[in-house]
C-alpha cells in the first residue's frame, strides 16, 4: 500500500465560506435544537433554488422518502414500483410501511429507470387487478431519469411519482430541476453527496398541505395542545438548526461545485474514453447532470481487466474508487421481490453492476490527484490490451 500519498476519497465533503458563520449565529442565539431560523431559511432557500412551492428539512434522505410514502398513504399489503439500480435507502422505507417493492430495471443510455420495463410492470399490474400505490424513480449519479415517458405511463395509470433525487440536486430535465417533476422529490445531504450537512435530507413538493403533514410527523406528531397529545404515529426526523446552517452555506456554493465536477468529468472523459472497452455514463441530451460522480464500465473481455481489479489497484495507491450500486433484485434482502428487466431475458443493471466503477469526483480533487488516478487506470488498461 502506498501510504506516502494523501488518501484520495471518492466524494469527500467540501465546505464553503459561510457554513461556520451560520453555525455561529445558531450558537450565539442558542438555537441548537431541531428548531430555529436556519431550518426555516434552509427550507425556503432550497425550495427557491429548485422552484418547488415548499420543502421540509429532515434528518436524512431516507426519512424524506419514508414521509413521502406516508403522505401517499402507502400501507400494509400495498405495492410500490422502485428502480432496482440504486442504493438500498430508496427501497427500505417501502418495507417500513409494510408494503412490498417491485423492482424496475435501467436502460443503457441513462442507467436510470427503463420506461419499457415500467410499462410491462404496469400491464401485469393491470392484468392482476392490483396497481402500485406509487413509483419511486431514482436519478442516479447526478442525472435525471428520462422523465417524459415515465410520467406519461404513470399518468395513464394515475399513480404518483416520488423522485429520489438524493444524488441529483442541481441537475435538470428539459430545463426543470431534478426532483420537482414527480408529486414529491427528495434530496440527501449525507457526507458524500454533492453538498452535505454531514447528515440530512429534504422533502419537496408543490402540495403544501402534504408537506405540513410531513413536518408534523417529523417531530413526533405532537398535536396542538398545551400538553403531550398524539393521534398519529410520528418520528424523530427533523433536521437540527446547526446542520441546517451548514446546509445554507453549502447551497450557496452548489453551482460552483457542479461546475468543478463537470470539469473533472470532462478531464476523465478526454483522457480515458478512447480506450477500447471503456464506456462512460454520458450526459443525456435532455438535461444537465450535476456530475456528482464520474462512472464508467470496463468490459472485461475487451480490456482483459475489470472494474474490481482497477479498484484494487487504485486502493494500493491509497485512492478510493468504488463499484456501482448493487441492484436491489440481486440483494439477499430483496431477492424474493418481483423484478422487471429491460427485456424479458436481458437485465441491464446486472451488467452495469458487474462492470461499473465510480472514480473519485470530489470538487476538492486537485489536478495533480486526478492526473495520478488517470495514470493508474490507463496503465492497467493499456498493459492488458
Ligand X SMILES: *Cc1c(COP(=O)(O)O)cnc(C)c1O
Q: Of the ranges 66-74, 81-89, 230-238, 376-384, which one interacts with ligand X (CB under 6 A)?
A: 81-89
Cβ distance to ligand X smaller for residue 61 or 177: 61
How far, in Å, CA of 88 to CA of 85, rounded?
Answer: 9
Cβ distance to ligand X smaller for residue 94 or 166: 166
User: Three-state SS string across the chain, please?
Assistant: CCCCCCCECCCCCCCCCCHHHHHHHHHHCCCCCCCCHHHHHHHHHHHHHHCCCEEEEECCHHHHHHHHHHHCCCCCCCEEEEECCCCHHHCHHHHHCCCEEEEECECCCCCCECHHHHHHHHHHHHHHCCCCCEEEEECHHHCCCCHHHHHHHHHHHCCCEEEECCCCCCCEECCEECCCCCCEEEEECCCCCCCCCCCCEEEEECCHHHHHHHHHHHECCCCCCCCCCCCCCCCECECCHHHHHHHHHHHHHHHHHHHHHHHHHHHHHHHHCCCCCEEECCCCCCCCCCCCCEEEEECHHHHCCCHHHHHHHHHHCCECCEECCCCHHHCHHHCCCCEECCECCECHHHHHHHHEEEECCCCCCCHHHHHHHHHHHHHHHHHHC
Cβ distance to ligand X smaller for residue 122 or 189: 189
The answer to the question of residue 182 lying near ligand X (CB under 6 A) is no
In the bound complex, which residue of the shown chain has the CB atom lying closest to ligand X? 61
The answer to the question of residue 138 lying near ligand X (CB under 6 A) is yes
Per-residue binder mask for ligand X (CB under 6 A), 91-130, x = binder: ----------------------------------------
Given the residues 193, 259, 263, 309, select the one marked as catalytic: 193
The answer to the question of residue 164 lying near ligand X (CB under 6 A) is yes
Say how many residues touch ligand X, by CB under 6 A. 14
The answer to the question of residue 203 lying near ligand X (CB under 6 A) is no
Instruction: For residue 82, give the nearest of 320, 306, 251, 333 by alpha carbon.
Output: 333
The answer to the question of residue 90 lying near ligand X (CB under 6 A) is yes
The nearest distance, CB 62 to ligand X, in angstroms, is 3
The answer to the question of residue 211 lying near ligand X (CB under 6 A) is no
Q: Of the ranges 11-19, 73-81, 161-169, 339-347, which one interacts with ligand X (CB under 6 A)?
A: 161-169
The nearest distance, CB 68 to ligand X, in angstroms, is 12
The answer to the question of residue 294 lying near ligand X (CB under 6 A) is no
The answer to the question of residue 62 lying near ligand X (CB under 6 A) is yes
Residues 22, 246 contacting (CB under 8 angstroms): yes
Cβ distance to ligand X smaller for residue 112 or 355: 112
Q: Of the ranges 102-110, 160-168, 208-216, 283-291, which one interacts with ligand X (CB under 6 A)?
A: 160-168
Q: Of the ranges 18-26, 70-78, 86-94, 356-364, which one interacts with ligand X (CB under 6 A)?
A: 86-94
Cβ distance to ligand X smaller for residue 43 or 380: 43
Q: State which of residues 34, 54, 61, 360 lies at the interface with ligand X (CB under 6 A).
A: 61
Q: State which of residues 79, 86, 172, 363 lies at the interface with ligand X (CB under 6 A).
A: 86
Cβ distance to ligand X smaller for residue 145 or 272: 145
Q: 193 an active-site residue?
A: yes
Q: Of the ranges 49-57, 59-67, 265-273, 339-347, which one interacts with ligand X (CB under 6 A)?
A: 59-67
Residues 223, 230 contacting (CB under 8 angstroms): yes
User: CB count, 10 Å around CB of 313?
Assistant: 16
Cβ distance to ligand X smaller for residue 65 or 125: 65
Q: Of the ranges 84-92, 151-159, 217-225, 371-379, which one interacts with ligand X (CB under 6 A)?
A: 84-92
The answer to the question of residue 190 lying near ligand X (CB under 6 A) is yes
Q: Is 227 exposed, middle or buried (0-12, 13-18, 19+ CB in 10 A)?
A: exposed
Residues 246, 19 contacting (CB under 8 angstroms): yes
Catalytic residues, by residue number, are 193
Site for ligand X, rule CB under 6 A: 60-62, 86-87, 89-90, 138, 164, 166-167, 188, 190, 201
Amino acid at each position: 500500500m502506498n501510504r506516502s500519498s494523501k488518501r484520495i476519497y471518492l466524494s469527500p465533503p467540501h465546505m464553503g465560506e459561510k457554513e461556520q458563520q451560520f453555525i455561529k449565529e445558531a450558537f450565539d442565539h442558542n438555537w441548537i435544537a431541531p428548531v430555529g431560523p436556519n431550518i426555516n431559511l434552509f427550507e425556503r432557500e432550497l425550495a427557491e433554488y429548485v422552484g418547488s412551492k415548499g420543502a421540509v428539512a429532515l434528518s436524512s434522505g431516507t426519512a424524506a422518502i419514508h414521509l413521502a410514502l406516508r403522505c401517499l398513504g402507502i400501507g400494509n399489503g400495498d405495492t410500490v414500483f422502485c428502480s432496482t439500480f440504486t442504493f438500498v435507502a430508496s427501497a427500505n422505507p417501502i418495507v417500513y410501511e409494510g408494503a412490498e417493492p417491485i423492482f424496475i430495471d435501467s436502460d443503457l443510455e441513462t442507467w436510470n429507470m427503463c420506461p419499457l420495463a415500467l410499462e410491462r410492470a404496469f400491464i401485469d399490474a393491470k392484468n392482476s387487478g392490483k396497481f402500485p400505490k406509487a413509483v419511486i424513480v431514482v436519478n442516479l449519479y447526478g442525472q435525471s431519469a428520462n422523465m417524459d415517458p415515465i410520467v406519461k405511463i404513470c399518468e395513464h395509470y394515475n399513480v404518483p411519482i416520488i423522485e429520489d433525487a438524493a444524488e441529483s440536486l442541481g441537475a435538470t430535465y428539459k430545463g426543470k430541476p431534478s426532483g420537482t417533476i414527480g408529486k414529491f422529490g427528495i434530496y440527501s445531504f449525507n457526507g458524500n453527496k454533492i453538498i452535505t450537512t454531514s447528515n440530512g435530507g429534504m422533502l419537496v413538493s408543490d402540495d403544501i398541505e402534504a408537506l405540513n403533514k410531513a413536518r408534523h410527523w417529523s417531530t413526533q406528531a405532537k398535536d396542538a395542545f398545551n400538553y403531550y397529545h398524539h393521534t398519529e404515529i410520528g418520528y424523530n426526523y427533523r433536521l437540527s438548526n446547526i446542520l441546517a446552517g451548514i446546509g445554507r452555506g453549502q447551497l450557496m456554493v452548489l453551482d460552483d461545485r457542479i461546475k468543478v465536477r463537470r470539469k473533472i468529468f470532462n478531464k476523465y472523459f478526454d483522457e480515458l474514453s478512447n480506450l477500447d472497452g471503456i464506456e462512460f455514463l454520458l450526459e443525456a441530451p435532455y438535461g444537465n447532470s450535476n456530475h456528482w460522480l464520474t462512472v464508467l464500465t470496463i468490459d472485461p473481455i475487451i480490456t482483459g481487466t475489470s472494474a474490481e481489479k482497477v479498484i484494487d489497484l487504485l486502493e494500493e495507491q491509497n485512492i478510493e474508487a468504488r463499484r456501482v450500486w448493487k441492484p436491489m433484485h440481486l440483494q439477499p434482502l430483496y431477492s424474493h421481490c418481483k423484478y422487471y428487466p429491460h427485456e424479458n431475458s436481458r437485465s441491464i443493471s446486472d451488467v452495469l453492476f458487474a462492470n461499473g466503477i465510480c472514480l473519485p469526483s470530489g470538487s476538492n480533487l486537485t489536478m495533480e490527484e486526478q492526473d495520478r488516478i488517470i495514470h493508474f487506470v490507463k496503465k492497467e488498461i493499456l498493459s492488458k490490451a
